[in-house]
């Protein structure tokens, strides 16, 4: 029974491939920019060395997007944002909330 389960899973885990020439010929819808020329809808990964401000950057973006404010003079399309602070401890979350509240951000 376990053998059959593994076979079923491996049959479902397939990747489609396409060559560059075929991809260029496709008429695909353009992704919607959330921050013009910088951030599109969907999954994005912000990576960098520890303690360089990645969390603050993303928190700032989330607030600005939620309020419909520009980011670095780039237009944002206002929308609902969700900021997950999965690596911060409670003290760090409190500090960030206090800074955000001092800036009168709702």
Structure-token pair, residue 19: 């060559």
pLDDT of residue 8: 58
For residue 93, the number of C-alpha atoms closer than 13 Å in the C-beta half-sphere is 8
Mean per-residue pLDDT pooled into runs of 10, the chain (106 residues): 55 77 89 90 87 88 89 92 85 83 58
Q: Which residues contact 41 (CB under 8 A, 6 or more apart)?
A: 31, 32, 33, 34
What is the pTM (predicted TM-score) of this model? 0.66
- H-state helical runs in 1-106: 2-12, 20-25, 54-67, 90-102
What local confidence, expressed as pLDDT, does residue 44 receive? 84
pLDDT for position 60: 87
């Amino acid at each position: 029974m376990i053998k059959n389960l593994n076979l079923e899973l491996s049959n479902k885990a397939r990747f489609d491939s396409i060559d560059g020439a075929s991809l260029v010929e496709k008429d695909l819808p353009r992704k919607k920019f959330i921050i013009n020329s910088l951030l599109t809808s969907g999954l994005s990964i912000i990576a960098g060395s520890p303690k360089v401000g990645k969390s603050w950057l993303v928190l700032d973006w989330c607030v600005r997007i939620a309020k419909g404010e520009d980011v670095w003079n780039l237009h944002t399309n206002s929308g609902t944002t969700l900021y997950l602070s999965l690596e911060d401890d409670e003290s760090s979350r409190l500090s960030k909330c206090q800074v955000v509240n001092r800036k009168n951000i709702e």
